[in-house]
Structure 1
């Protein structure tokens, strides 16, 4: 089983920063960056779980819920990767961690 703790920790850090950010910062793009990341992580999970299907897009539920959406999507992906057959998803995990780090930087948090 893959150790997905680095992914979940990175997602939690970003979500905590979103929760602590003032509304003005969220509206200036931090929430949009968080939602884009949540959508990306959700689609990654869907592609692994349901290969060949069209992904469903996570809805925009507002700037104050994006942190929770991010945590749900990140934890779903982490669980799917954690339970994947040995030796099959290491690259996916590394890529997901990097995507979270990049999005955090772009959000300016």
Structure 2
């Protein structure tokens, strides 16, 4: 079984930073960066859970909701990877790096 702790913590830290960010920072690109990441994590989770089904795209619910969207997408991916029938360590590592990179870009 994969240890998904690092992905969970990385997503949590980014979401916490988004929640604490002023509206101006969110509107200057942090929210867009987080939404792009949330969409990517959601797509990855859907591909693991149902590879034969067309994935749904996470909607843009606004700058004040994006932290929650990121948490949902991250949690879904963690659960999908954790319960996948075969180990997916490379996908887990890649997801952690995606979150770190997006957080850096969002808060430059």
TM-score tier by shorter-chain length is over 0.9
Gaps of 5+ in 1: none
Q: Measure, in 1, the Cα distance between the counterparts of 2:52 and 2:94.
A: 20
TM-score (norm 1): 0.95
**What residue ranges of structure 2 are gaps of 5+ in the alignment?**
none
1:32-51 matches, within 5 Å, as 32-51=32-51
TM-score (norm 2): 0.96
Counterparts of 1:84 and 1:7, CA distance in 2: 16
Identify the residue that residue 19 of structure 1 maps to in structure 2: 19
Q: How many residues align?
A: 108
Aligned equivalent of 1:98: 97
Cα root mean square deviation, aligned: 1.0
Partner of 1:65: 65
Give the superposition deviation at 1:36. 0.4
Q: Distance in 2 between matches of 1:54 and 1:33?
A: 23
Structure 1 runs of 4+ off > 4 angstroms? none
Match of 1:85 in 2: 85
Q: Matched residues in 1 for 2:52 and 2:82: separation? A: 21
Secondary structure of 2:52's partner? Answer: coil
